[in-house]
Amino acid sequence: MRAAFVSGVILAVGVLWSDHAQAKAVILRAARRDIEEAVIEHHDRRQSNPGPAAWRLTVGPWVILYDHPDRGDPSVARVVTLWRHR
Q: State pTM to two decimals.
A: 0.84
Whole-angstrom Cα distance, residue 43 to residue 25? Answer: 19
Closest to 66 (Cα-Cα) out of 86, 85, 52 = 52
pLDDT profile of the chain (86 residues), mean per 10: 48 84 97 93 92 94 94 90 93
CATH of domain 15-84: 3.30.2310.20
Q: What is the CA radius of gyration of the chain?
A: 12
> What are the structural domain ranges in the chain?
15-84
